[in-house]
Amino acid sequence: MGEVLLVIDAGTTSTRAMAFAPTGTLLAAEALPLTQSYPAPGHVEHDAAEIWAKSQACVATVIAAVGGPERVAGIGIANQRETVVFWNKRSGEPLAPAIVWQDRRTAALCRRLKEAGEEPGVQARTGLLLDPYFSGTKIAWARAHWPALGEAGDALAIGTVESWLVSNLTGGVHVTDATNASRTLLMGLGSGQWDDGLLALFDVPRASLGTIVDSAGEVGRTTLFGGSIPICGLAGDQQAATIGQACLDPGDTKATFGTGAFVLTQFGTRVPVSQHRLLASVAWQIGGRRAYALEGSVFVAGSLMQWLRDALGLLDAAPESEALARSVSDTAGVYLVPALAGLGAPWWDPDARGTLSGLSFAATRAHIVRAGLEAMAHQAADLKRAFAADGADWATLRIDGGMVANDWMAQDLADVLALPVERPAFVETTALGAAMLAGVGCGLFRTLEEAAAMRGAVERFEARMTEETRIARLAGWRAAVERTRS
C-alpha cells in the first residue's frame, strides 16, 4: 500500500485535489473553478455534472503527479456542506441543478414552519434552526417545483456533495457521512440516524437518501484512475477544518474565513444544546462514536472581498485589501454589514440586506475596504458573546481559510476579540483534515491525535488594541447591525 493521502476538496467556488505525505507535506495540487449560477434573486445553483467532471480531472492530474494510483493509500473528501444534489441512481445523471448552501429561496417556507411552531421541535432533534441554509428545506422546495424529481420514482437519489462524489467514484455506492448528515435537518443528532418525523415534515423519501456512515473508514473503492483506491475519509468542510486545526479536545475552537466564516468549538461526546441560536453538529464519527461541535455560521466573508472587487470595482485583486486597510488609520466612521445573503448566527435573519453606513466626504475606497475587513472581527465578536453565553467561551482562536493570509485581518481579530489568534503555516486545513481522516480510515494512523502531527507550525497574534477603542468599535457595529436587520 502507498503512503500518499489524496484529498478532494469540493468547495463553493472551486474544486481541488491535493496529495499529502503522512508528515503533512503537500506533494501535489490541482484546482479548477466552479461556475455559480444565480437564476433569480436569492437563488444560487451549481451544475452537479461540472462538480464531478472537474473533481475527476483534478484527481487524475494529482495521481499522475505523485507517480500513479499504487502510491495512494486512500482518498478523503471534504465538501461544501448543505449544498444538495439530485440524481438518478440507475443512470448516474443529475436530475436538476444543485442548490447551493448560500441559496435563500426557501425563506418563505421557513417562516411558515416557524409560524406553525415547528422550530423548537426541529432544534431539539437536529441541533439546527429553521433557515434556508440547510438542506432539508431545499429538498422540500425542489420536490415541489421540479417535476423530474417525482418522475424519477424510486431511482431518485438525494445527497450532499460528498455523497454525489462517492457515487460517481464507486459506480453507485450511496452513502453520506455523519457530519454532512447532521447539517440536513433530517438526522437525529443524538441517534445519528434519519428521523422519520423530519423526513415527513420536509417530504423527503427515505429511500432517496444514502446510508449514514463514519467519517473515517472505507466506504468504497474507485477504479477510475488505473488502480483500486479506497475512499476512507469523509467530512463537511468545516468539520474537516476543525480536525485539520487539531481541535480534538473540548473547548478547542477554530474559525475558517473562506466564502463564509464558520466557528466551531469542539464539545466532546455530549450533545450541545444552545440557548443563544448557535448550531449543534457532529464534529466526526469514528467507530460509530460521535464527537460534537457547537457552531456559529456567518454567510459572507471572503465573498465580500470578491463583491467589492467584481461588482463595485473597489479592488483590483482581493490581496490588495490588506494594503488599503493599512493605508488609513481607521474607517472614518464607516461600517459595512455584509448581509448580502441575510444574517447568519446569532441573528438568523434571512431577509436582512447589507448596509454601508457612516459615509461622509472623508470616506474613500480604502475606508470602505477596511470597513469590510473589520466586519470579519465584528461578526466574530458577535459569535464569541453567544458561545460564552452557552458556556463555551474561547481561550484561543485557531484561524484558517483563504482570507487569513491577510496579516492585518489576523491581528484585527486578536485585537477585537481580546485573545490570542493562531494561524498555521499551512492554512488549507480543510484539505488537511480530510487527509487526516483518510489516514485513520486506511490505517496509516491509529487515531486522530496521532494524525494531528500533520498540522505543523503555527504563528501567534496577540491582542494590542486598547479597551476603549475596542468598546467604541463594537458599539458602532451593534448600531449598524440594528439598521440592517429586517
Q: Is the pLDDT at 412 greater than 90, yes or no?
A: yes
Question: Three-state SS for 151?
Answer: helix
- Using CA atoms, how far apart are residues 267 and 279, in angstroms rounded to an integer? 12
User: Nearest-CA neighbor of 438 among 45, 144, 75?
Assistant: 75
pLDDT in tens, 329-387: 999 999 999 998 888 888 888 788 999 999 999 999 999 999 999 999 999 999 999 99
Structural domain spans, the chain: 4-238
Rounded to two decimals, the pTM is 0.87
Q: Residue length, the chain?
A: 486
CB–CB of 377/421 below 8 Å?
no
Identify the pLDDT of residue 392. 86
Q: What is the mean pLDDT of the chain?
A: 93
Stronger pLDDT, 85 or 393, i.e. the higher one:
85
Q: CA 425, 7, 62: angle at the middle one, nearest 5?
A: 95
Identify the pLDDT of residue 200. 96
Q: Is the pLDDT at 466 greater than 90, yes or no?
A: yes
pLDDT in tens, 10-24: 998 899 999 999 999
Identify the pLDDT of residue 134. 93
pLDDT band at 187 (very low <50, low <70, confident <90, very high): very high
Q: Is the pLDDT at 79 greater than 80, yes or no?
A: yes
Share of the chain above pLDDT 70, in %: 100
Q: Is the pLDDT at 224 greater than 90, yes or no?
A: yes
Report the pLDDT averaged over residues 83-112: 94
Task: Dihedral sign for Cα 427, 431, 437, 439, please.
Answer: negative
Paired sense of beta strands 421-424 and 397-400, if any: parallel
What would be the CATH architecture of the domain defined by 4-238?
2-Layer Sandwich (3.30)
Q: What is the DSSP-derived secondary structure letter of residue 154?
A: G
Q: What H or E segment, with its residue span, contains residue 169?
A: helix 161-170
CB–CB of 315/307 below 8 Å?
no
Paired sense of beta strands 253-257 and 261-268, if any: antiparallel
Identify the pLDDT of residue 357. 93
Identify the pLDDT of residue 258. 84
pLDDT in tens, 260-315: 898 999 988 989 888 888 999 999 999 999 999 999 988 899 989 999 999 999 99
User: Nearest-CA neighbor of 275 among 248, 255, 294?
Assistant: 294
Q: What H or E segment, with its residue span, contains residue 404?
A: none
Q: Is the pLDDT at 101 greater than 80, yes or no?
A: yes
First to last CA, the chain: 56
